[in-house]
Chains A and B, each alone.
Chain A
Amino acid sequence: MNRQEEPVELINENGLRIDGRRLDEFRPIKMKVGVLDKADGSAYVEQGKNRILIAVYGPREAHPKHIALPHRAVLRCRYHMAPFSTPERKSPAPSRREQELSKVIREALEPAVLSEYYPRTTIDLFIEVLQSDGGTRCAGITGASLALADAGIPMRGLVAATAVGKIAGQIALDLSDAEDKQGEADMPVAIMPKSNVVTLIQMDGGLTHEEFERGFDIAVKTCHTIHEQQKAVLKERYLAIKEEVEGKSESTKGEEE
């Protein structure tokens, strides 16, 4: 589908964005863990039109052996977009962008993984973007933390990510693809809220020093919010089972007596 991008009004007269959001709203995120059978850990993230599936295999034997490190696990990360994920079909071959993102995403998660527990192994992380609409590396990082925790890999903490940007001269949270293309800046940020450290920050566009500081603070706060949801999602399966059966036992005990 070939479309000429027509300039769209990014912020209307009511201060609302194309999808009706306010400037300081991020697209609600749907998170699920344990969605794949064969993977050791997995997660699925939906945010706006983004649909991202993440799988973790490992720690497992390193193949080929020479890539292994003697004192820790090697973390390998592949960020890849499906050919049907974008408005125009994308070639399946890894693009330079995907290669760069694979690197920065790996570096965003390395500080979180206690890789010293599993020397001479690899922990493989696969992020597949099934549908994309801006902010996929952030949603990918958020989901990757879930998948790693789901696999039972020891971690210092979870990593949450979001992007801030500038559209029509204003700082806005979580840009969609159209907003990124027509906007003036985009800055993805990943935080490990446990110690409030930044594991990823990139930016392209134009921001004054003041705009950067303001946007950065908003991004950090938002990551903390996303983090609360991540923790809840990891526990909810088990808490649901607990509620279901402990409630039942209480009532069956009552019946038998």
Chain B
Amino acid sequence: MSSTPHLPPVATIAQKTVVDMLAVGKRVDDRGLNDFREMKLEIGPIERACGSALINLGKTKVMVGVKVEEGEPFPDTPDEGVLTVNAELVPLASPSFEPGPPNENAIELARVVDRGIRESKAIDVKQLCVQPKRKVFVVFVDVYVLDHDGNLIDASSIASLAALLSAKMNEYEVENGEVIYRPELRTLPIQNHPVAVTLAKIGRSLVVDPSLDEEQVMSARLTVVSDKDGRICAMQKGGAEALSVEEVKQGVAIALSRAPEIRSRIMEAVKT
């Protein structure tokens, strides 16, 4: 059952500052309304994973690990590999995260990141088939939130793409339905680059990449995931208040305009 959340006690003075400043078009950290925070992407910090990426988006830190393993296909897609995304809001990341199975926020986070990757067909899953109906490769994308300072969705989505792009698995041959691995490494069959851009509505303003302070005063948020051709592949409105019809259209337009720059930052980081 989903329940109206208890918001952690925030100094109302801090909240008021965010709102007051936005009323005159300024953000507390001096960013433009459409600007992302400073982003740092570290590729491959976890050697044991097939792929990994650590993102610092402002003070938000998210680690994503990618693992590829042999598994069974789903019955309705017998010749396709499987993608599965999980997210953990680890207790050390925030005073408001509690240990336990993923709660609705972790589940929503995982499912939105999943939709971005899946609907953009970022992974060419047909190339991950070993033997139809019997054996395919399963790509596990595990999102591990380490420090919550707002906008976990975008941070997770960016780091997931970086981890997938830089992931390596062994070259392999299929013999009699079994996988024979070779020592050389290959990348995963990635054919699209989905990027999430989230906007928060505060007062009458829409701001891109909300920090935690901004999230705590926002009335609603809108996430738009777009691919390398500018097609929208996923959207998610969140928050307990509403967006006007105009604000939704505006938000989509802003998100589509900001995604390409983020995409090229990811590609750059992965290349090096």
Within 8 A of B (CB), among A179-197: 187, 191-192, 195-197
Which among A9-17, A18-26, A31-39, A99-107 touches the partner chain? A99-107
Q: Mark B102-140, 1 if CB is under 8 A from A, else 0.
A: 101101101100010011100000000000000000000
Whether B4 pairs with A76 at a CB distance below 8 angstroms is yes
**Interface extent on A, as a size class?**
35 or more
CA distance A77 to B245 in the complex (A): 25
Indicate whether A198 sits within 8 Å of B4 (C-beta atoms), given known contacts A99-B107, A100-B111, A203-B235. Answer: no
The residues of B that contact A130 with a CB separation of less than 8 Å are: none
**For residue A200, which residues in chain B have a CB less than 8 angstroms away from its CB?**
237
Q: B77's closest neighbor in chain A, by CB?
A: A5
CA distance A104 to B231 in the complex (A): 24
Q: Which of B234, B242, B248, B253 contacts A209, CB < 8 Å? A: B253
Task: Give every chain A residue within 8 A of B248 (Cβ-Cβ).
Answer: 198, 201, 216
Does B208 reach chain A (CB closer than 8 Å)? no
Q: Is A96 within 8 A of B237, CB to CB?
A: no
Closest to B248 in A: A198
**Contact (Cβ within 8 A) A207 B232:** yes
Please indicate which of the listed interface residues A111, A198, A200 has the most CB atoms of chain B within 10 Å of its own CB.
A198
User: Which 3 A-B residue pairs are closest in the complex by CB-CB distance?
Assistant: A197-B242, A203-B235, A102-B2
Which stretch of A67-75, A132-140, A147-155, A170-178 is in the interface?
A67-75
Whether the pair B119, A206 counts as a contact (CB closer than 8 A) is yes
Query: Which residue of chain B is the closest to A97 with respect to CB atoms?
Result: B111
**A27: interface (CB < 8 Å):** no
Chain A residues with Cβ below 8 Å from B240 are 106-107, 110-111
Provide the main secondary structure of the chain A interface: mixed
B30 CB-CB contact with A under 8 Å = no
Contacts of B249 in A (CB 8 A): 213, 216
Contact of A204 with B by CB under 8 A: yes
Asked if B1 contacts A202 (CB within 8 A), the reply is: no
CB within 8 Å of B: which residues of A?
2, 4-5, 67, 69, 72-78, 96-97, 99-100, 102-107, 110-111, 115, 122, 124, 187, 191-192, 195-209, 212-213, 216, 220
Identity of the chain A residue whose Cβ is nearest the Cβ of B244 in the assembled complex: A197
Whether B200 is near chain A, meaning CB under 8 Å from some CB there, is no
Q: Does B162 contact A (CB under 8 A)?
A: no
In the bound complex, residues from chain B placing their C-beta under 8 Å from that of A99 are 2, 104, 107
Is the beta-carbon distance between A67 and B3 smaller than 8 angstroms? yes
Q: Does B184 contact A (CB under 8 A)?
A: no
* B25 interface hit (Cβ, 8 Å): no
Closest-by-CB residue of B relative to A106 is B2
Task: Give A242 Cβ to nearest chain B Cβ, in Å.
Answer: 34
In the bound assembly, the distance between CA atoms of A219 and B8 in angstroms comes to: 36
Question: Known: A198-B248, A207-B232, A213-B249. Is A76-B242 also a contact (CB below 8 A)?
Answer: no
**A-side contacts of B231, CB under 8 Å:** 206-208
A240 CB to nearest B CB, Å = 33
- Chain B residue at minimum C-beta to C-beta distance from A220: B245
Please name 17 further chain A to chain B contacts, defined as beta carbons within 8 Å, in addition to the given A103-B108, A209-B256, sorted by A numbering.
Answer: A72-B4, A74-B3, A99-B2, A100-B107, A102-B1, A102-B2, A103-B105, A106-B240, A107-B238, A198-B243, A199-B242, A201-B222, A209-B230, A209-B253, A213-B249, A213-B252, A216-B245
Taking the closest CB of chain B, its distance from the CB of A214, in whole angstroms, is: 11
Within 8 Å CB of A205, what residues of B? 119, 233
Within 8 A of A (CB), among B86-111: 102, 104-105, 107-108, 110-111
Q: Are A209 and B232 in contact (CB under 8 A)?
A: yes
Interchain CB contact under 8 A, A202 and B235: yes
Known: A74-B3, A99-B2, A204-B119. A110 touches B234 (CB 8 A): no
